[in-house]
A and B are shown apart, each in its own frame.
Chain A
Amino acid sequence: MSEGTMIRLEGVEKVYRTTAIETVALTAVNLAVAAGEFISVMGPSGCGKSTLLNLMGLLDAPSAGTIAVNGTPIASYRDKDVAALRNKEIGFIFQSFHLIPDLSIVDNVEIPLLYRPLSARERRERALKALDRVGLSSRVFHFPSQLSGGQQQRVAIARAIVGGPRIVLADEPTGNLDSQMGDEIMALLHGLHENEQATIVMVTHDPQRAEKTQRIVRLFDGRQVH
């Protein structure tokens, strides 16, 4: 494996089995994402984009093949091991934001830090800093329902970057937003890529936004197409 590879998938396959049927979501995926690369994943609905992202984010285990993060192959998908890796290395951004409605903005952003040995004060400082970076310093004690969709997605970005992960995985981050708000979010992601050298993998349906990333990976029916 080359030194500059942040995520590598080799012969990855994902099959969902129920008693009645077997659904192949991904077949023979070989993919290397370089450190600091910003790529987008495109393809029609149901082609396995989100499955690919979930595998990269260690939210799911492949049925076959290996995945390596930052040069280390994931040997075990034991809860404790992958939880620690997700916490340290990966930040997620979801299409529907997934903020916790009962928590204030700043408490939402603090979530990844809860699972690290940090003092409450340190958590708070880092969360405020992350919110500042996405331009939401004035709303820290609001609740998610009090914010617009674009603002909620900015909170989600702050939550994704608060722990300083090297990988950010974004699943259709602008899918639920109007184009102006979508542009704001994209600007934030590009800024993150340029200023922090973050490795970003973004699933999108929008060719224009995909064009602006460094590389496009296309999927069709669970297979990579070139």
Chain B
Amino acid sequence: MLISYLKLAVKVLLRRKLFTAVSLFGISFTLVVLTVVVAMLDHMITPMAPETRIERTLALYQIQLFGPDGRRGRTESGYALVDRYLRDLPGVERLSLVSSRREVSAYAPGGPIICTVRRTDADYWKILDFAFLEGGPFTADDVRNASLVAVISEATRRRFFGDGLASGATIDTDGRRFRVVGVVPNVSQLRPLASGDIWVPHTTEKAEDYRTNIRAGGYWGLFLAHSRADFPRIQEEMLSRLRAVPVAAETQRRFDRIAAYAETPTQTVARVYGGPLFDLRRVEGPPNLRHFFGVLGGLALLFMLLPTVNLVNLNVSRILERASEIGVRKAFGATRRTLVGQFVVENVVLTLVGGLLGLLIAQGVLAAITSSGLIPYAEFRLNWRVFLWGLAIAVFFGLLSGVYPAWRMSRLNPVEALKGGVR
């Protein structure tokens, strides 16, 4: 029976070329937008080199401050605070501190250029899993001795050294001369923890103040947990330790309590991109993922609603044209359920074809975004995860736009249906 439905579906779709084309356009266009968005989200949160351990990593970017009279604030997390209060948390296998990307000027053979520098420790290279193209990371000794050594990205090597090797050579940046010890592949700028141009030991920082002043910002904490199951325990301990911070004294009594919520990559994405949606600054705690994905899902549904309503409309008129067929099938023993099945199969076939088309176009769009360099070093791929998402969305479409008209039509009285076919 299914084969007969499939055969009929293909014939019906081929016969109504305009209808098929309009439907396919609607489905594939919507799918292209959705899959591109999903691919971007996917690109920001899935484990990929060098963030292969991202699933058990928590990142602390911000400190939340609370004062009398409901006063609230947020500030970037800093080296001294994390170093003094948040080391050796239970459940944490390794902790690294890494600065945000800071723009500096550098002197390349072609003239001065702007690039970004990150300062960090030796553990950074153990939490992240860079596949070094040349040399290796700087060591704990380098950090302790404030050695002027640097790891650079592939793109930075090209800017300074062209096609040549960089290990052992020097680069002049941030007012100092660093010796290159390693070269790593480029990382997409949408991965805030791992992307960068130049990494140097944090001890090469010009001012010493960042290591002692707990009000200083600019450094993010990277906590590698033994497993995800440790996350709640780590978070709880973090909050408890921060109660010891003399907040009132440090802030001239403007604030009396601080809190820190370390984030998973998904939470980070929710905070950064969802912030304007529902002012997270007012909320204590990590971004509410349910809220974020609720809004995102709602938007996606709204976005899908238009083509779906359109499809339902087209389907009703298309199926109405086939009232006589419905009457005949009923007369010869089709139940409502089998008729619904038949029309849903037709629609699912249509949407799967539209889905496939949409996925192919999405692949093209993603390749175009990747090659345009709009987001440096980002490589968007239509991986199997995104593909399955797309497929699921297509089937959802098929059901959504097929079930209602099919159900309505299957309720046609056979006598009326047969009359309708005489027109």
Residues of A bordering B, CB below 8 Å:
54, 57, 59-60, 79-80, 83-84, 86-88, 90-92, 94, 96, 98, 100, 102-103, 107, 110-112, 114-116, 120, 159, 163
**Which listed residue, A54, A79, A84, A102, touches B8 by the CB 8 Å rule?**
A102
Q: How far is the CA of A94 from the CA of B422 in the complex (A)?
A: 11
Q: Nearest 5 pairs between A and B by C-beta? A: A87-B333, A112-B332, A115-B333, A83-B335, A102-B11
Q: Can you name 13 extra interface pairs (CB under 8 A) apart from A86-B330, A92-B331, A115-B332?
A: A57-B331, A59-B413, A79-B335, A86-B333, A92-B328, A98-B324, A98-B327, A102-B8, A102-B11, A102-B15, A111-B328, A112-B332, A114-B334
Known A-B contacts A83-B334, A103-B8; A98 and B328 likewise in contact (beta carbons under 8 Å): yes
Shortest CB distance B148–A (Å)? 77
B249 on interface, CB distance cutoff 8 Å: no
* Contact (Cβ within 8 A) A86 B332: yes
- Give the interface centre of A59, A91, A92 by most chain B CB atoms within 10 Å: A59
Rounded to whole angstroms, the CA-CA distance of A114 and B422 in the bound complex is 24
Closest chain-B Cβ to A205's Cβ sits at a distance in Å of 17
How long is the Cα–Cα vector from A98 to B420 in the complex, in angstroms?
Answer: 11
1/0 contact string of B3-32 vs chain A (CB within 8 Å)? 110011001100100000000000000000
Interface residues of B in 327-384 (CB under 8 A from A): 327-338
Q: Identify which of B8, B324, B414 contacts A59 (C-beta below 8 A).
A: B414
Q: Does B114 lie at the interface of the complex (its beta carbon under 8 Å from any beta carbon of A)?
A: no
Q: Do residues A110 and B415 form an inter-chain contact, with CB atoms below 8 A?
A: no
Partner of A100, one of B328, B330, B414, B418: B328
How far is B327's CA from A90's CA once the two chains are assembled, in angstroms?
14
CA gap between A121 and B422 in the complex, in Å: 32
Q: How far is the CA of A28 from the CA of B422 in the complex (A)?
A: 29
Residue numbers of B with Cβ under 8 A of A are 1, 3-4, 7-8, 11-12, 15, 324-325, 327-338, 413-415, 418, 421-422
CB nearest neighbor in B for A123: B4
Give complex CA distance A111, B327 in Å.
Answer: 12
CB of B114 to closest CB in A, whole Å: 65
Shortest CB-to-CB span from B333 to chain A, Å, is 2
The distance in angstroms between the C-alpha atoms of A57 and B11, with both chains bound, is 30
Does B325 lie within 8 Å of A100, measured CB to CB?
Answer: yes
A94-B325 Cα distance, complex, nearest whole Å: 13
Q: Which listed residue (A79, A102, A107, A159) contacts B332, Cβ 8 A?
A: A159
- Which of these, B3, B4, B418, contacts A94 with CB under 8 Å? B418
Given A98-B327, A103-B8, A103-B11, is A92 in contact with B332 using a C-beta cutoff of 8 Å?
yes
Q: Which B residue sits closest to A102, measured CB to CB?
A: B11
Interface of B is mostly: helix
Bound CA–CA A107/B330 (angstroms): 16
Give complex CA distance A114, B85 in Å.
73
Contacts of B4 in A (CB 8 A): 107, 110, 114, 120
Taken together as a complex, chains A and B put the C-alpha atoms of A86 and B333 apart, in Å, by 5
Q: Is the CB of A59 within 8 A of B415?
A: yes
Contact between A114 and B1 (Cβ–Cβ < 8 Å)?
Answer: yes
Q: Which residues of B have CB within 8 Å of A83?
A: 330, 333-335
CB-CB under 8 A from A54, the residues of chain B are 414-415
Q: Which residue of A lies closest to B12 (CB)?
A: A102
Residues of B near A120 (CB, < 8 A) are 3-4
Most buried by A among B3, B327, B331, B414: B331
Whether the Cβ atoms of A111 and B329 lie closer than 8 Å is: yes
- Can you list 13 A-B pairs with a CB-CB distance of less than 8 A? A59-B413, A60-B415, A80-B335, A86-B333, A88-B333, A90-B331, A91-B332, A100-B8, A100-B325, A114-B338, A115-B333, A115-B334, A115-B338
Contacts of A90 in B (CB 8 A): 331
CA gap between A94 and B11 in the complex, in Å: 24
- CB-CB under 8 A from A86, the residues of chain B are 330-333
Q: Please name all residues of chain A whose beta carbon is closer than 8 Å to the beta carbon of B15 when the two chains form the complex.
A: 102
Cα A54 to Cα B330 in complex, Å, equals: 12
B325 surroundings in chain A (CB, below 8 A): 100
Contacting residues, chain A, for B334 (C-beta < 8 A): 83, 114-115
B415 x A112 contact (CB < 8 A):
no
Chain B minimum-CB-distance residue to A61: B413
Q: Please indicate which of the listed interface residues A54, A83, A91, A100 has the most CB atoms of chain B within 10 Å of its own CB.
A: A83
Residue of A nearest to B413 (CB): A60
A59 near B335: Cβ-Cβ < 8 Å: no
8 Å CB contact of A96 from B3, B7, B335, B422: B422
Q: A120 to B5: give the CA distance in the assembly, Å.
A: 12
User: Within 8 Å CB of B324, what residues of A?
Assistant: 98
Q: Which of B327, B330, B336, B418 has the most CB of A within 10 A?
A: B418
Chain A min CB distance to B365 (Å): 35
A98 to B7, CA, bound (A): 19
Residues of chain A within 8 A of B329, CB atoms compared: 111
Whether the pair B418, A98 counts as a contact (CB closer than 8 A) is yes
* Complex contacts, A110 vs chain B, CB 8 Å: 4
The CA of A8 and the CA of B418, in the complex, are separated in Å by 24
The minimal Cβ–Cβ distance linking A131 to chain B, given in whole angstroms, is 16
- Chain A residue at minimum C-beta to C-beta distance from B417: A59
**Nearest residue, chain A, Cβ from B9:** A102
Residues in B whose Cβ lies below 8 Å from that of A107: 4, 7-8
Q: Bound state CA distance, A98 and B414, in angstroms?
A: 12
A107 to B418, CA, bound (A): 19
Bound CA–CA A14/B324 (angstroms): 23
Given A102-B8, A102-B15, A107-B4, verify A84-B413 contact (CB < 8 Å): no
Most A C-beta atoms less than 10 A away, residue of B3, B328, B336: B328
Residues of A within 8 A of B421 (CB): 96, 98
